[in-house]
Each structure stands twice: as structure tokens, then as C-alpha cells.
């Protein structure tokens, strides 16, 4: 019998609703859910083929235990005993936990509680460190909270969309659709990027700037707005603080259009026009993604965006706001669930003694939970794992593949090799599994119930369509079982993801009013939803910001040279991004035939003039070197890229992590978008 099971696409943060077509226990296809306000009956190629990896013969089916250089299949009880016995041997500060923005809210909440309640450590983090952290830090300073301000459908209502650092039509195609909606109603679309992408094709004004010069562009636009009297004085006076300090910075001569044009490569006239369009728009919204945040200066980029939107009063109304587009399907949820070294669920600081007492009381552990002290972030964990006698000695990785996804691969690999004990739970045997002591087979999105929270804070339900392969289990179940084995059965007495959700909603203020009944509606619920009678919040800050005094704070920032600049040895600026066919490390999309048939190997895009001067042609294999490492891949010549700039997609076997460097202290994010490289023909024969 054929059935249709509605669930949520496992890829990008848009959170499109998809029906999985099930025939005789197998998923054979997909149809878009026409009742979803997010995708309104449409899917991008990734969503259309999101079923193809599920029944792959490569899926992990049984727990694996390392014996010397080989892995032996085992049963759950044996694996659980080994894990429980080993974890008991380490002090809390010797253990590190990685959660995943690919797992459900319930998986992540259970892991966060396991870290803090069972292992007594705040050393928990996840891949958002390399994307979402700059937004969280930057927007929290400006607005008091670090989330997308408006909803996806609201983008289509805007009079002027300013998009920078996001190739929206490839990364978040169903959000790209909202740009088309806004344009069809007469709205303008300004796009800023180092490449002429598929998104640039739609632009009414395209600012092609050098990667790493975002703050200079934004300060220039703000200076022009103020010089022409286009700032929103009423909003500034009634809703914000520190405007005079912003004025002092952006009105400096170095940010005038002529100077900034020299620095960024954008023409003076285009900078002036962008300022005029933004300043005069009835409503203006900003879209950005990793192009803005994936920098060592990502926090400053985000602050500059917040300054621009407050300056023009484009916050708290339809068609306005700051829409930071999340890359992974549940990156918002994993952060909301407190899978961060400094926050409990709902961004309640671990260092706040009142919060600490409240959560200890709800959890009822017989012994104290992790102390009110910030733990290590993902980069710090791998750095500490590299110290033989006093660092991290054991790690538990759930759904993360840092050997591909983390920057500064040398440090990550050194740290992982140095561990005494590594447990990895995943759906496939990833590159990181090769280093594990124990590998656990997890259920994928189509094999479990639960919830995920998309980029616009919309909480939506996952539904189970088929059984997991072999004896694989959902992560929340695996974590619950291990906690029980370690003596915490009572604190982990969950019988279903719904039990976990109810507990989480109790201690997470923004989720207090979200009930299972509300989630049964195709709209889901946008948090904050503080009480059962509340319908959720599509637009934040309508009347006040989240700072205690309700004001938004201007945080002026100066443009700084990127951490790397081209020189005669490394003359090209490498920028990175996604392609429409693949998602992140490619573990799932590369096992999906229709997607892999489109693109299935690493490549570097180069301007034809730069290729010619290096003596290489389209299709040649080249060696790409940065100051951190090197890799080989095929060259693709494209005239859509600026001379002196090269591009690589963010996937394919540790390609980029070997070229990129260490994370910066402010947000823990590394430099991904302006790494300097050189390339030369690979030696053959």
C-alpha cells in the first residue's frame, strides 16, 4: 500500500515540508507539501531527492567496536556497557561532546542534558560555531538576542531586499522564491557578493566587492544615508542608544564612496545608489548567510548590518528586519536546545546562579550538575585534545563529522588521534568514524518522530515514515539508554520524543506555549511562544528589543584588513560557498543519485585570465596551496568571478578544512571567505 508521510526536508535551514511516498516499507519518492507556508507546494532539487540516501547499502546497521585496526559488529548492550565504563573513568573537564544541527530538537536536548547532568561538563558545542556563532554574538550585542527577526513569507512583502553574503537561489532556493515575490510587487533587489552568482542574475543593483570588505561597504552606505538626511530620526530617538558613536565612525572620510570604491572594487555610483534605495525604501530587509558570517571578522559584519537596519528604522515591521539564513535544517534548534558551552536551553546562561538552580531543580539529578562555568567550544576541544596529559581525553560526537567540516584540519586531526576514547553516532561510516573507538548506528530524519526549528524560528514536526536499518536507533533513544546504564534512569525516563519536548518546553521560556496540538497544524509555531494562548511570533521587536531597557544598541565597527591578504606567494583570494545540488559535507547528497550525477568532485572556479597566467586550462587538475595546507582538484574557468578571486564549494572530503585556518576568540569562527591561495598545474605521470 502506498502512503504519504509528511515531514521536514533534512537539508537547509528553510525547513520545507515534504511528503515521503512509502511503498511496502520503502521510501520511493517525495511530493512537496502544498499546505506549508514555507514552501507552498514546491521543493528544490535537494528536497525532491531527499529520500535517495535513506536505503543506501552504506547505512550503519549495527554498533561497531574497534579491535586494533578493524571494527567488529556488536550488540547494543555490549556497546552501552563499554561506553558507560569508559565515560566513568574521565573527569568532567576531560570529556568533550559535539551535538548536531542535523539532529532533532529532542536528540539535541537529550545530549545536552546528558553532558551537563550525567558527565557534569559544559564542554558541549556543535557545528554552528562555524556559522551561527557570529550572528548570535553580533545580534545579541545589538538587539539582546541572536535570531532571524522576521518570517520567510514576510521577506516577500519587502519594498527593498538587500542581500549580501548569501547565494540564496542555490543555498536556500525556496527563500529565493520570496525575492521573486517581492520583485513582482515592485520591490527592489540589491545584491552584494564577490561572484556573479545565480542570485546576482536577479539583482536590480549588483555590488561585486572583494571578500572581506563588507564593513567598509556597510559603513559607506550608512555614511551616505546620514549625509543625505535619510536616517529614521524618530526610530533612532525612541528605540535605540549610542547613535552619536555610530555617526562618528561612519562619517569618517575613509568611508566616503570614493575611498570605499578603491578598497572594495564597487563603483562609487553603485554605493551611492544602494544608500539611496535603502534610505528611501518604505521597508527594507537584509538577507545574509555564511558569506557574511564565515569570516574571522564575522561578528563585526553582523553588527554593521544591525546598525544599518536600526539607522533606517527597518526593524519590527512587515518587510523589514535581519534575516540571517541558517545553513543546516536544525541549526536554530540545536542552539535553542543549549548545545553550546555557555547556555542552557533558551539561551539561559550557564553562569547565572538563579538559572542554574532552576534547571537543577527541574532535572532532579541526585548529584550536582555541571558547575556554573562556561565550557570549551568546538575548536578549543580539539586544541585541548592535542595536549597529551591535561586536555580532552574522551569525546562523544553525535551526527558531526569534524574531519570534513571543521577548519584547520591539522589541529582537528592531531586532537582526534590523541584521544583515548572516541564515540561517534551517525547514519554513515564517515571520515571521522575511522578514528573512533565505538561507532553507533543512528536513525535518519525519516525514521524518527520529533521536531526541528528552521531558520525563521518555526518549530515543525518530523514524522516517522519507515523503520531504521538493522538495529539502528534514534539518537535520543541511544543517549537515554546510555544515561540509564550510567545510573540515571529516573532522569532519562523518556518513552518518546514528546516526553522530551514537554520537559524542554518547561525550562525553555520561548517554547513554553508550544504544544503537540499546535504543532499538528502545517504552519508549525514560530517562537517566542511564551504561553499556551499565544500564537507564536512572526516579527520580533515590534515594540522593544530584548535588552533590559528595551533599546537597540548601535555598535559602531571599523573595517579591518582580513586576517589574510594576497601577496606574491599567495596572490588569489579564495571564497567558499555552496552549490544547489549538495549539502555540507555531502554525506547524504553524494549518496543521492540524481544529485551526485550533477556534481560529484571537488573543483576550483577561476577567471580565465588567471588560469591563463598560471598556464592551466578548464578541466586541468591543479594543486591549490594556502598558508595552511594544500589539495588537488579540477579547475573550472568562469568569467563571472573577479580576476584575483577564486571559489570552491564547501564539500568534498576535507577539501577546505586543509586550506583554512584557526578560529578567532570572539565567536570561535574561522576565516573561510578570504583565505589566500595559489594554484599550479598538478604533476602527472
Question: Cβ closer to ligand SF4: 494 or 581?
Answer: 581
| CA dist., res. 602 & res. 649, Å (int) | 7
CB of 230 to ligand SF4, least distance (A): 34
In the bound complex, what is the minimum distance in angstroms from residue 332's beta carbon to ligand SF4? 13
Minimum CB–partner distance for residue 48 and ligand SF4 (Å): 7
User: Which helix or strand (DSSP H or E) is residue 124 part of?
Assistant: strand 124-125
* Minimum gap (Å) between residue 570 Cβ and ligand SF4: 34
User: Is residue 640 within 8 Å of residue 196, measured between CB atoms?
Assistant: yes
**In angstroms, rounded to a whole number, what is the distance separating the alpha carbons of residues 464 and 450?**
9
d(CA 539, CA 533): 18
Whichever of 132 and 628 has its CB closer to ligand SF4, that residue is 132
* 248 neighbors 255 (Cβ within 8 angstroms): no
How many other β-carbons are positioned within 10 Å of the β-carbon of residue 42?
A: 16
Q: Between 38 and 412, whose beta carbon lies closer to ligand SF4?
A: 38
**Half-sphere CA count of 394, side-chain side, radius 13 A:** 22
Decide whether 16 or 339 has the Cβ nearer to ligand SF4.
16
Compare residues 9 and 60 and give the one whose CB is closer to ligand SF4: 9
Here the cell at position 402 is 569534524
* Among candidate residues 157, 222, 225, 167, the one with its CA nearest the CA of residue 199: 167
Name the helix (H) or strand (E) containing 184. Answer: helix 173-184
The least CB distance from residue 10 to ligand SF4, in Å, is 8
Nearer residue to ligand SF4 within complex by CB, 163 or 440? 163
Within 10 A of 248 (CB to CB), how many other CB atoms are there? 10
Q: Which residues contact 366 (CB under 8 A, 6 or more apart)?
A: none
Cβ closer to ligand SF4: 14 or 300?
A: 14
The smaller minimum CB distance to ligand SF4, of residues 173 and 223, is found at: 173
CB of 593 to ligand SF4, least distance (A): 17
In degrees rounded to 5, what are phi and psi of residue 493?
-90, 30
Give me 60's grid cell: 550503519
Cβ 599 to ligand SF4 shortest distance, Å? 15
Least distance from C-beta 13 to ligand SF4, angstroms?
7
What is the separation, in whole angstroms, between the first and last Cα of the chain? 56
Q: Which residues bind ligand SF4 (CB under 6 A)?
A: 9, 11-12, 14-16, 39, 43-44, 46-47, 172-174
Question: What distance in Å separates the CA atoms of residue 48 and residue 22, rounded to the nearest whole number?
Answer: 14
Q: How far is the CB of 8 from ligand SF4 (least distance, A)?
A: 8
Is 359 within 8 Å of 108 (Cβ atoms)?
no
CA 232 centroid distance within chain: 32
Question: What are phi and psi for residue 56, nearest 5 degrees?
Answer: -60, 140
Compute and round to an integer the Cα radius of gyration of the chain: 24
Question: What is the smallest separation between the CB atom of 174 and ligand SF4, expressed in angstroms?
Answer: 4
Q: Which helix (H) or strand (E) holds 380?
A: helix 378-385
Q: Which is nearer to ligand SF4, 7 or 480 (CB)?
A: 7
Beta carbon of residue 495, minimum distance to ligand SF4 (angstroms, whole number): 30
Q: In sequence order, which residues have a C-beta less than 8 Å from that of residue 91 and are 6 or more positions away?
A: none
The nearer residue to ligand SF4, 39 or 137, going by C-beta atoms, is 39
Of residues 250 and 579, the one with the C-beta less far from ligand SF4: 579
Nearest residue (beta carbon) to ligand SF4: 47
Residue 39 CB, shortest distance to ligand SF4, in Å, is 6
> Count of CB atoms within 10 A of residue 1's CB?
5
Q: How many CA atoms lie within 13 A of 427 on its CB side?
A: 22
Q: Which is nearer to ligand SF4, 312 or 330 (CB)?
A: 330
Amino acid at each position: 500500500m502506498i502512503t504519504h508521510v509528511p515531514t521536514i526536508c533534512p537539508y537547509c535551514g528553510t525547513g520545507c515540508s515534504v511528503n515521503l511516498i512509502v511503498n511496502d516499507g520503502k521510501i520511493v519518492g517525495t511530493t512537496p507539501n502544498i499546505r506549508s507556508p514555507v514552501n507552498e507546494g514546491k521543493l528544490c532539487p535537494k528536497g525532491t531527492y531527499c529520500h535517495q540516501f535513506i536505503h543506501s547499502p552504506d547505512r550503519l546497521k549495527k554498533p561497531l567496536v574497534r579491535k586494533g585496526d578493524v571494527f567488529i559488529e556488536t550488540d547494543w548492550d555490549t556497546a552501552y556497557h563499554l561506553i558507560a565504563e569508559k565515560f566513568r573513568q574521565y573527569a568532567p573537564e576531560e570529556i568533550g561532546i559535539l551535538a548536531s544541527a542535523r539532529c532533532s530538537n529532542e536528540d539535541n536536548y537529550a545530549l545536552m542534558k546528558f553532558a551537563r547532568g550525567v558527565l557534569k561538563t559544559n564542554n558541549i558545542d556543535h557545528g554552528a560555531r562555524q556559522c551561527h556563532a557570529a550572528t548570535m554574538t553580533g545580534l545579541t550585542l545589538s538587539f539582546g538576542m541572536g535570531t532571524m527577526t522576521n518570517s520567510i513569507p514576510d521577506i516577500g512583502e519587502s519594498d527593498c531586499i538587500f542581500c549580501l553574503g548569501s547565494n540564496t537561489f542555490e543555498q536556500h532556493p525556496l527563500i529565493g522564491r520570496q525575492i521573486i515575490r517581492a520583485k513582482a510587487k515592485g520591490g527592489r533587489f540589491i545584491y552584494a557578493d564577490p561572484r556573479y552568482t545565480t542570485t546576482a542574475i536577479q539583482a536590480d543593483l549588483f555590488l561585486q566587492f572583494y571578500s572581506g570588505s563588507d564593513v567598509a561597504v556597510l559603513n559607506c552606505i550608512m555614511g551616505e544615508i546620514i549625509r543625505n538626511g535619510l536616517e529614521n530620526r524618530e526610530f533612532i530617538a525612541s528605540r535605540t542608544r549610542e547613535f552619536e558613536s555610530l555617526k562618528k565612525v561612519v562619517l569618517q572620510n575613509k568611508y566616503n564612496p570614493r575611498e570605499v570604491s578603491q578598497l572594495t572594487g564597487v563603483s562609487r555610483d553603485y554605493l551611492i545608489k544602494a544608500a539611496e534605495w535603502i534610505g528611501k525604501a518604505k521597508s527594507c530587509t537584509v538577507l545574509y548567510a555564511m558569506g557574511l558570517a564565515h569570516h574571522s571578522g564575522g561578528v563585526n559584519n553582523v553588527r554593521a548590518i544591525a546598525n544599518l537596519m536600526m539607522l533606517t528604522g527597518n526593524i519590527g515591521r512587515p518587510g523589514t528586519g535581519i534575516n540571517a539564513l541558517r545553513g543546516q535544517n536544525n541549526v536554530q534548534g540545536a542552539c535553542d536546545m543549549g548545545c553550546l558551552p555557555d547556555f542552557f536551553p533558551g539561551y539561559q546562561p550557564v553562569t547565572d546562579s538563579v538559572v542554574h538552580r532552576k534547571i537543577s531543580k527541574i532535572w532532579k539529578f541526585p548529584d550536582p550538575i555541571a558547575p556554573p562555568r562556561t565550557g570549551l567550544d568546538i575548536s578549543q576541544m580539539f586544541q585541548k585534545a592535542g595536549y597529551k596529559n591535561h586536555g580532552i581525553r574522551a569525546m562523544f560526537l553525535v551526527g558531526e563529522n569534524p574531519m570534513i567540516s571543521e577548519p584547520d584540519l591539522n589541529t582537528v586531526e592531531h586532537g582526534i588521534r590523541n584521544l583515548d576514547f572516541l564515540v561517534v553516532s551517525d547514519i554513515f561510516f564517515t571520515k571521522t568514524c575511522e578514528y573512533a573507538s565505538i561507532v553507533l548506528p543512528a536513525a535518519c530524519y525519516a525514521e524518527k518522530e520529533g521536531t526541528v526549528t528552521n531558520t525563521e524560528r518555526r518549530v515543525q514536526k518530523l514524522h516517522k515514515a519507515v523503520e531504521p536499518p538493522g538495529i539502528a536507533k534514534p539518537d535520543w533513544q541511544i543517549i537515554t539508554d546510555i544515561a540509564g546504564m550510567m545510573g540515571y534512569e529516573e532522569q532519562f525516563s523518556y518513552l518518546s520524543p514528546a516526553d522530551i519536548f514537554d520537559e524542554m518546553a518547561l525550562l525553555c521560556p520561548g517554547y513554553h506555549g508550544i504544544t503537540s496540538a499546535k504543532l499538528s497544524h502545517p504552519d508549525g509555531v514560530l517562537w517566542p511562544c511564551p504561553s499556551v494562548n499565544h500564537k507564536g511570533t512572526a516579527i520580533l521587536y515590534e515594540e522593544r528589543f530584548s535588552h533590559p531597557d528595551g533599546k537597540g544598541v548601535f555598535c559602531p565597527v571599523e573595517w579591518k584588513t582580513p586576517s589574510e591578504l594576497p601577496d606574491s606567494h599567495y596572490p588569489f583570494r579564495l571564497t567558499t560557498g555552496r552549490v544547489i545540488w549538495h549539502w555540507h559535507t555531502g554525506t547524504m547528497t553524494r549518496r543521492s543519485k540524481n544529485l551526485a550525477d550533477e556534481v560529484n568532485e571537488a573543483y576550483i572556479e577561476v577567471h580565465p585570465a588567471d588560469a591563463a597566467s598560471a598556464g592551466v586550462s578548464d578541466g586541468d587538475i591543479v594543486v591549490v596551496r594556502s598558508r595552511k595546507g594544500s589539495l588537488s582538484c579540477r579547475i573550472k574557468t568562469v568569467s563571472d568571478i573577479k580576476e584575483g578571486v577564486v571559489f570552491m564549494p564547501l564539500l568534498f572530503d576535507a577539501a577546505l578544512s586543509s586550506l583554512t585556518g584557526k578560529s578567532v576568540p570572539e565567536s570561535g569562527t574561522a576565516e573561510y571567505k578570504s583565505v589566500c591561495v595559489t594554484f599550479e598545474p598538478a604533476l602527472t605521470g
